[in-house]
Amino acid sequence: MINRRKFIRNSAITAAAVPLLNSQVLAAWAQEKGLKDLYKGDFFIGAAINGRSLTTPDFVNILKKDFSSITAENEFKWSVINPSEGEWRFDFPDQFVKFGQDNDMFMQGHCLVWHSQVPRSLFVDESGNQVTKEALLKKMQVHISTLVDRYKGKIQGWDVVNESITPEDGWRRSQWYNIIGPEFMDHAFNLAHEADPSAHLIYNDYNMDNPKKVQFVVEMIRDFKKKGVPIHGIGMQAHYHLDEPDINVIENSMKAFIAEGMKVHWTELDIDVLPAAGARTSEISTNAEYQDALNPYTEGLPKEIDDKLTKRYEDLFKLLLKYKDDVMRVTTWGISDDTSWKNGFPVRGRTNYPLLFDRQHQPKNCYKAIAALKS
Ligand code: GLA
């Protein structure tokens, strides 16, 4: 049982500091089972990780104890892994796969085709002119086959396409869409399937609570089925807030995808507790100017807000459990609050509290609440 002792040693907390910690939280952490064991047989509990996660003892311990799935935050994105034609950076991806295999984890590759974080040279030829449809399809084919083939049978799931639909207009007018047309989607899924026929392939997007967007995705799935394009699941990014979206709306989206025979993944779960800076969206190009009023919890999270955060996590996990037969995985976007992208998005320099572990890498009350649901 003393995970507790091991935990304290590894996270460099002094004995004197221990009594200051919430004893219930520590007790939950100290139980023999981590979240991955508590939820075994329900769905995978995942975390998005980066290089630091695998070299920082606290993070390694947390990953081994609590998580049964990993996704790389950035290192499989086109501009990072394949920054120019023929150039591949497999160092971290190989370490990621080894760590996942050593710890018997479900690994999700993120992501094969996206409009963001791609090399500038992707859409232009040597003279700077836009590439032809044929040339871009060839680049897609080389990228997908090289990557999926390298990790065939090891990375079990792929986010084949990320964020290609907007709630307003249906297909996002990305370079992929403009140069190839909407069938770039079919090509991407077909290529991934050819490279690894046993891989679980999903479409991933944010704001999957928006009914128009959900309907568009449902129609896309039906069209894929008609054409025989392989798709096995839908990734709802789940960048949520304390009060939005409404849990019933999230449930409706899950039902709609499940009705189409899809497995549901929550791929990037975090819960933003800070005041909204304009319309809430996870559109990556959004940013708003810093104001102190938008950053109220620099000295710690007031109990009232922490209680709301805990309740929100609990409600969301109850919902996941309700649909556990069709939910394959929930992944938090990061491990602990200090490393979350939500400290910098959509306003830079804020102190946010979106994840299950705090800035000292201790389990939070929300961790305890979701552990308690299965204890
Ligand atoms: C989107 C992407 C992720 C990541 C986050 C921000 O949700 O899918 O890969 O870039 O934005 O960190």
Q: CATH number of the domain that 247 lies in?
A: 3.20.20.80
Q: Is 332 helix (H, G, I), strand (E, B) or coil?
A: strand
In the reported structure, the alpha carbon of residue 162 is separated from the centroid of ligand 1 by a whole-number distance in angstroms of 9
Q: Is the CB of 108 under 6 A from ligand 1?
A: no
Report the DSSP pairing between strands 165-166 and 170-171: antiparallel
Q: Is the CB of 268 under 6 A from ligand 1?
A: yes
DSSP per position, 179-204: HH-TTHHHHHHHHHHHH-TT-EEEEE
DSSP per position, 117-184: S--GGGGB-TTSPBPPHHHHHHHHHHHHHHHHHHTTTTS-EEEEEES-EETTTEE---HHHHHH-TTH
Q: Which residues contact 112 (CB under 8 A, 6 or more apart)?
A: 143, 144, 147, 148, 158, 159, 160, 161, 188, 192
In the reported structure, the alpha carbon of residue 163 is separated from the centroid of ligand 1 by a whole-number distance in angstroms of 10
What pLDDT does residue 3 have? 34
Closest ligand 1 atom to Cα of 341: 12
Ligand 1: which of 112, 158, 160, 284 to mutate, judged by most atoms within 8 Å of the beta carbon? 284
How far out from the chain centre does Cα 249 lie? 20
What pLDDT does residue 281 have? 77
Q: How many domains does the chain have?
A: 1
In the reported structure, the alpha carbon of residue 82 is separated from the centroid of ligand 1 by a whole-number distance in angstroms of 18
Q: Which residues contact 286 (CB under 8 A, 6 or more apart)?
A: 278, 345, 346
In the chain, the amino acid numbered 163 is E
pTM of the model: 0.90
In the chain, the amino acid numbered 189 is F
Q: Is the CB of 323 under 6 A from ligand 1?
A: no
What pLDDT does residue 31 have? 55
Q: Which helix (H) or strand (E) holds 225?
A: helix 211-227
User: What is the mean pLDDT, run by run of 10 residues, along the chain of 375 residues?
Assistant: 31 37 54 89 98 96 98 98 97 98 98 97 95 98 98 98 92 98 98 98 97 97 98 98 97 98 98 89 82 96 98 98 98 98 95 98 98 95
In the reported structure, the alpha carbon of residue 341 is separated from the centroid of ligand 1 by a whole-number distance in angstroms of 9
Q: Is 329 helix (H, G, I), strand (E, B) or coil?
A: strand
Q: List residues with catalytic annotation.
A: 163, 268
What is the rounded radius of gyration, in angstroms, for the C-alpha atoms of the chain?
A: 21
What pLDDT does residue 13 have? 33
Task: Region of 277 please: left (phi>0), alpha (psi -120 to 50) or beta.
Answer: beta
Closest ligand 1 atom to Cα of 117: 10
Closest ligand 1 atom to Cα of 268: 7
Q: Is the CB of 71 under 6 A from ligand 1?
A: no
In the reported structure, the alpha carbon of residue 3 is separated from the centroid of ligand 1 by a whole-number distance in angstroms of 33
Domain span at 288? 4-372
What pLDDT does residue 32 have? 65
What pLDDT does residue 231 have? 98
Q: Is the CB of 162 under 6 A from ligand 1?
A: yes
Q: Is the CB of 351 under 6 A from ligand 1?
A: no
- 182/63 Cα distance (integer angstroms): 38
Q: Is the CB of 281 under 6 A from ligand 1?
A: no
What pLDDT does residue 307 have? 98
In the chain, the amino acid numbered 177 is Y
- 3/229 Cα distance (integer angstroms): 47
Cis peptide before 346 (omega within 30 of 0): yes
252-258: long-range contacts, CB 8 A cutoff, minimum separation 24: 252/211, 252/214, 253/208, 253/209, 253/211, 253/214, 254/319, 254/323, 254/326, 254/327, 256/214, 256/215, 256/218, 257/214, 257/217, 257/218, 257/221, 258/323, 258/326
In the reported structure, the alpha carbon of residue 28 is separated from the centroid of ligand 1 by a whole-number distance in angstroms of 30
Closest ligand 1 atom to Cα of 114: 8
